[in-house]
Chains A and B, each alone.
Chain A
Amino acid sequence: MSEPLLHATGLHLAFGQTRALDGAGIEVRAGEMVALVGSSGSGKSTLLHCLAGILRPDSGEVVYRGARLDTLSEEARSRLRRDEFGFVFQFGSLVPELTAVENVALPLRLAGARRRGAEAKAREWLERLGVLDVAAKRPGEMSGGQGQRVAVARALVAGPRVVFADEPTGALDSFNGELVMEELMGAARAQGASVVLVTHETRIAAYADREIVLRDGRVTSPVVS
């Protein structure tokens, strides 16, 4: 078996008295889609943030492509997030001052693309996710579900190696939720990207190849499909 692309073991992280992570671990292979499920407060978002180098665990290891990620400098981690990862956060994924098309073009612009090319590509993605009509709107002027689809477009636009998606369908009706999942899956498959998906909906989790169940900051059942 090949080395996992992303590998975390024995993660502990406390916020004051709250043990958000209490020994959680996970393995994600290249091109694999893993769903993180578990009840509210079980540590899903915290685990996702540790895997993506946004939060640093108190102890434990996160290894990405054979190298420790949790011990990198803040600067090196943000470079990694920019160059290799795509994000859909549970709350506030988008830059409030930018329009939808500018938000989606942002990862390409940060990677050095010219504005016209980046925005043309951004429009393509907005169209695929059914939100081209809000291209000129700022996040405050969109519905929750529209904002979520714009965020998914932004997470995918630069062809990331890993997509981290925290409740990407949480604000959507089931039909649009499905549309977002199809696009997310399709793009990830086409690009060979891995996806770490947090969701509380089993129907959405079933899109993943595998499900990891969290309870009180620990993994209870690494169900292999």
Chain B
Amino acid sequence: MTIAETLLGLLEPAPRHGYDLRREYDAQFGERRPVKPAQVYATLGRLARDGDIHVVSVEQVGGPERTTYALTPDGVTRLERWLTEPEAHTPYLQSVIFTKVILALRSGRPAERLLDAQRTAHVAAMRELLRRKSGADLTTVLSCDFTIFHLEADLRWLEHTAARLDKLAKELS
């Protein structure tokens, strides 16, 4: 998970408390998957324990306690390392579809329908994203583009596979 590093990044410009961080996290990155409050507080605790952030102040104004954190030099180093490190690719979705195709063919089921249904679903998702990004701000556009291009890659794989299903079925039988 990247919540820890993301929080470091959000903390870098100025000290903040957990509630603030969570709000900003969701506003910028949480569109698909909002972060849970407990996750934020637990991560902050771990970062403080590891010496990447430190407590600046603890206030209590009426409601619950608010702990304000700031980055330590170690935290800055960790953030910088993470920002320049290439990420491993995540072939997760493709491998599920792949598994379904293989299992369908091995059991003599028509894999064509599976591929068609997947294609239809992917294209529908793509259409929805194109609609969403039309006229939107650049942050939204680029966030949608990220998913659109990944869907496109899946779709190409679906096409390649669909064109060679007969051969694949023979190979598996």
Q: CB within 8 Å of B: which residues of A? A: 39, 174, 182, 201-203, 205-207, 211, 221, 223, 225
Contact = CB atoms under 8 A, between A and B. Distances in A.
B148 A225 contact: no
How many B residues touch the partner, as a band? Answer: 10 to 19
Contact of B155 (A39, A202, A223, A225): A202
Nearest to A220: B116
Contacts of A206: 123, 126-127, 130
Interface in B45-62: none
Majority secondary structure of chain B interface residues (helix, strand, loop or mixed): helix
A202 B163 contact: no
Contacts of B116: 221
10 contacts: A202-B122, A202-B126, A202-B155, A203-B151, A205-B123, A207-B130, A211-B123, A221-B116, A223-B123, A225-B127
B85 to A, nearest CB: 26
Contacts of B126: 202-203, 206
Nearest to B154: A202
Interface string B139-173: 00000000011011001100100010000000000
B76 to A, nearest CB: 34
B127 A203 contact: no
B42 to A, nearest CB: 39
B77 interface: no
Interface in B88-147: 116, 120, 122-124, 126-127, 130, 134
A201 B123 CA distance: 11
